[in-house]
Amino acid sequence: MQLTVAEQLSHEPKYWRRELATILVVLALLVWSSSAVEMQQNAGNGFSVAGGIFRGIFHPTASLLFGTGKNGVAYLLLETMCIAFLGTLVGAVFAIPISFLSAFNIVPKWIGIIGRVFIMAVRTIPAFVYGLMFIMVTGPGPFAGLLTMSLCSVGMLSKMFIEAIEDLDKGILESLDAQGCTFFQKIKYGIFPQLLPSFASTLIYRFDMNLRDATVLGLVGAGGIGAPLIFAMASYRWNDVGAILVGLIILVLVVEWISGKLRSKLMRG
Amino acid sequence: MQLYDRLFPPKTYTLSNGKSVSEKRSRAPLVWLVMICFTAISVRITGFNFGVLFRRGSFFFVMLGDMFPPDFAYMENVWKPLWDTIKMSLLGSAFGALICIPFAILSSTNLVRNRLVTTIFKFLFSLVRTLPTLVAALIATYIFGLGTLAGTVAITVFTFAYCGKILYENLEQADMGPYEALEALGCRGITCINHAIFPQVLPTYLSTVLFCFEGNVRYASILGYVGAGGLGIILNEKIGWREYGKVGMILLALFAAVVAIESLSQYLRSKLT
Amino acid sequence: MGNHAPLRKVIPSLSAKADTNSGAIMIEFRHVGKVYPNGTIGLKEVNLKIKDGEFIAIIGRSGAGKSTLIRAINKMHAVTSGELLVDDVDVSKLEGKSLRRLRRKIGMIFQSFNLVTRTTVIKNVLTGFVPDLPWWRSLLGVYPQSCKVKALEALDKVGILDKAYIRVDQLSGGQQQRVALARTLAQNPKVILADEPVAALDPVTAKQVMDDFKRINEEMGITVLINIHHVELALEYAHRVIGIRSGVIIYDGPSEKVDQKVLDSIYGPAQKEADHAAV
């Protein structure tokens, strides 16, 4: 029997109920969430603050921005970069063994799951908690910041390392085996070349992010540019705030540009 | 790199049939040198010191140990800040995700012919992305006062930048064929984008937003440190008072919440693709 | 090709088309030229008169200007000199709303189908109605019943009514091109421009799609212009052939009169070399 237009019309799948339900659920969630929004009464002078910061960015304190002393923005940015750099490296040192222990194609499934739960726990702990804890260990300053950064990096580094490890082409190992290579030769010639570009790219990406997060550390007193920022803001010295923000933005943009170039070079070989 | 090749000329191999092949010298030594230099500088500046680590490192684990077993009785006080944290991230993620759409469209070179406009908006995204979330939260507390509104705004800003960049990258790679077809039958630009481009990018976009929301829940707990609401406030307090049992409880609650949300999010995301 | 209903009986509104305006000039090119910004010449001194209801095939080498010619008609490519009249309106002067209104009357079929592959067949056809709907309907994708019926009828006309609720990426090439055809029919166009519509299809499917074009032209009186590099198909289906080479019209006449000499002038000696090589 031939299908008629009228029949086909009646066959139209009725998605609208499901779509409507989804939309209602989402709206309900949003309405429920807005109940948490609270702000203090001094919101009135909020605009003057915003204006102040805005103006401060365009009239940064030159001495602060270009100063060469330990309080200068340049030195602090350098310190922040070093914190991020070493933090990424140390984080990698922790992350590599943990990643291998969590990759399902290397270890049995139950070990892998324990590894991943461990990583998730490490990742969940907020950065400033680590910061405060490390300050107790090493005293305030950039060393604490570095250690904090490394633990914070472990989360993302492990996740991306695990992906790279699980993507490993076993075929190459097979052919090396067939040629009669030892265990270590297989690792050096079979595994490293596959993982290295991926690992390196991940490290650079994480360094980029750590640079941004490193400013956080200053807020807990763990070095870097966060501390002067918070002092300047607390004293309403908008021009100083502007100087710091400008320096920060420039640094991040430059590093991002360089790291982008490096990563695409790595990926394309 | 050309300088490098001039200083260390490529090695030439001559094959038995007379042909010669030149191989550029490996870059590895240069890379090693650069890395070692940076490491040395960094160690100097940050004051990295193995000695301190060995001597005092155990203290870290002592604190960790104090957190377990966590103080379960304290859980009552954890609920409200926990829900606050989740709500802040939900609202912030939703707003950020919505607001970034028009900006992402304006940044896409295949949808907007004007190069100047797209460059400006792309730069805007870069600029906003350089701002660390905590700094944004700090500024927000000054503008909006202490409390969760500041935190929500900070999360909105971060989500805006993150989702926006991914969205415009996807938009630029979308298949323009259907767009062209709709243009040819008389639709305006916006209509073409709505009917031809969005169906293509929607699954990835929603997936990105969910992923961002996952991360935002963890971020939101930090924001409390600057007074922007959520778990961070009580966390900071309890660490200050060295009440590690309670700290442990808060962390445990946070962990449970994050696991739950991430599982839900991963499930939803797998259904999208 | 299957179980489609005979056109005139089912949709009386559309059959009325065939009787109006036959013989009137639909499209006219007057001294039309197109020069690209980098200096390349796309079209040169094109003069053409296309009547309502004609079925025309445009042939020529790749890059000869076939696409430019066709896309000039709905201003997908703008011409740089001369006048292009469609239904007595100069296309090159149109912008914005009036251009969109003109495009409603012109349907376009593409080589790569240009459908939204993630959605269903019927949603794709419904997009043909979008410019005529109020903004909120378009935004939310809520179509009135009448549109849905017309869309289904269009699908019926091309013989794939049973595939209405299936996702486009699950269809074959020939079926997808038919969906594109149905989308165009939903617009109720006076002219259909087809840019290499069968180039991506196998020979059997290609013939089926050409048959569809022929039916639409004969039963609905829609003017059809097809860009095609497959000369045999062109000669078999079209009444009139336009041969273009390097932006200039070399031949414009009935398809019966196209012989090897004409083809050589359009495709150039390279065609002969290719023939010699094949021998």
With a CB cutoff of 8 Å and minimum separation 6, the contacts of A237 are: A61
B142 touches chain A (CB under 8 A): yes
Per-residue confidence band for C2, with pLDDT thresholds at 50, 70 and 90: very low
Per-residue pLDDT, B245: 83
In a domain, B224, yes or no: yes
Mean pLDDT of B4-30: 77
Task: Enumerate residues 6+ apart whose C-beta is below 8 A from C188.
Answer: C14
What is the mean pLDDT of the segment spanning B128-151? 80
- CB distance from C110 to chain B under 8 Å? yes
Does A5 sit within 8 Å of C148, measured CB to CB?
no
Interchain CB distance below 8 Å, B184 and C115: no
CATH of C24-278, one of 3.40.50.300, 3.40.720.10, 3.40.50.800, 3.40.640.10: 3.40.50.300
Give the closest of B38, B86, B254 to A85, CB-based. B38
Axis crossing angle, helix A73-102 with helix B28-46, rounded to the nearest 10: 120
| Smallest Cα distance from C83 to chain A, Å | 43
Who's near C20: CB < 8 A, 6+ residues apart? C221
Residue B60 lies in a domain: no
Record the tokens describing residue A159, joined without a space.
């996740």
Domains, chain A, in order of start with CATH, read 58-268 (1.10.3720.10)
Is residue B53, in this structure, part of any structural domain at all? no
Range C161-187 average pLDDT: 91
How far, in Å, CA of A64 to CA of A2, rounded? Answer: 82
**Per-chain mean pLDDT for chain C:** 84
Position A45 scores a pLDDT of 63
d(CA A109, CA A119): 15
The range of the structural domain enclosing residue B34 comes to: 2-48
DSSP secondary structure of chain B = -HHHHHHSPPEEEE-TTS-EEEEPPPSHHHHHHHHHHHHHHHHHHHT--HHHHHHHHHHHHHHHHHHSS--GGGHHHHHHHHHHHHHHHHHHHHHHHHHHHHHHHHH-TTT---HHHHHHHHHHHHHHHHS-HHHHHHHHHHHH-SSHHHHHHHHHHHHHHHHHHHHHHHHHTS--HHHHHHHHTT--HHHHIIIIIHHHHHHHHHHHHHHHHHHHHHHHHHHGGGT-SSHHHHHHHHHHTT-HHHHHHHHHHHHHHHHHHHHHHHHHHHHH-
The verdict on residue B58 lying in a domain is no
Q: Are A183 and A206 in contact (CB under 8 A)?
A: no
Same domain membership, residue B254 and residue B123: yes
Tokens of B130: 């350089």
Nearest residue of chain C to residue B176 (CA atoms): C114
Given this model, what pLDDT does residue A134 score? Answer: 82
Q: What is the mean pLDDT of residues C243-270?
A: 84
- Domain presence at residue B179: yes
Which contiguous run of DSSP H or E holds residue C33?
A: strand C25-35
- Give the per-residue pLDDT at C279: 43
State the pTM of this model: 0.79
Residue C12, pLDDT > 60, answer: no
Residue pLDDT, tens place only, A143-193: 888 888 888 888 888 888 888 888 777 787 788 878 887 777 777 777 777
- Model pLDDT, residue A2: 62
Kindly report the length of chain B: 273
Residue B178 is nearest to which of C76, C115, C130, comparing CB atoms? C115
Are both B41 and B114 inside the same structural domain? Answer: no
Instruction: Note the pLDDT of residue B101.
Output: 94
Asked if the model's pLDDT at residue C278 lies above 50, the reply is: no
The mean per-residue pLDDT over the stretch B112-133 comes to 87
What pLDDT, on a 0 to 100 scale, did the predictor assign at position A64? 64
The answer to whether residue C3 scores a pLDDT higher than 60 is no
In this complex, the residue of B178, B186, B196 whose CB is nearest that of residue C104 is B186
At C273 the pLDDT is: 46
**C277 vs C237, higher pLDDT:** C237
Q: Say what percent of chain B tops pLDDT 70.
A: 98
Of the CA atoms within 13 Å of residue B116, those in its CB half-sphere come to 0
Q: Is B178 left (phi over 0), alpha (psi -120 to 50) or beta?
A: alpha
Query: What is the overall mean pLDDT for chain B?
Result: 84
- pLDDT on residue B236: 81
In this structure, the answer to whether residues B241 and B151 fall within a common structural domain is: yes
Q: Return the bridge partners of C32, or none.
A: C46
Q: What is the identity of the amino acid at A245? A: L
Average pLDDT over residues C11-39: 68
Neighbours of C (≥3 Cβ pairs closer than 8 A)? A, B
Q: How far is A27 from chain C (nearest CA, A)?
A: 17
Domain holding B149: CATH number? 1.10.3720.10
Q: What is the mean pLDDT of residues B191-201?
A: 91
Q: Look up tokens 């989804």; give the residue.
A: A22
CB contact under 8 A, A82 and B41: yes
User: Reduced to 3 states, what is the DSSP secondary structure of residue C86?
Assistant: strand
Q: Do A80 and A224 form a contact (C-beta atoms < 8 A)?
A: yes
Residue with tokens 């639409």: C216
DSSP state of C167: B
Our count of domains for chain B comes to 2
| pLDDT tens per residue, range B239-259 | 888 888 888 888 888 888 888
pLDDT at C1 over 70: no
More confident residue, C279 or C72: C72
| Top-confidence residue, B87 or B226 | B87
Nearest CB to B135; choose among A35, A124, A229: A229
pLDDT class for C192, splitting at 50, 70, 90? very high
pLDDT of residue A41: 54
**Could you tell me how far CA C214 lies from the centroid of its own chain?**
12
Q: Which residue has the higher pLDDT, B176 or A5?
A: B176
Q: Provide CB contacts within 8 A for A216, sequence distance 6+.
A: A127, A128, A131, A226, B132, B134, B222
Q: Are C111 and C197 in contact (CB under 8 A)?
A: yes
Average pLDDT over residues B177-184: 92
SS3 of C192-210: EEEECCCCCCCHHHHHHHH
Q: How far is B200 from chain C (nearest CA, A)?
A: 7
Residue C103 has pLDDT above 60, yes or no: yes
Percent of chain B past pLDDT 90, that is, above it, reads 18
Ranges of residues in chain A with a pLDDT under 50 are 1
Domain ranges of chain C: 24-278
Question: Is B80 in the same domain as B135?
Answer: yes
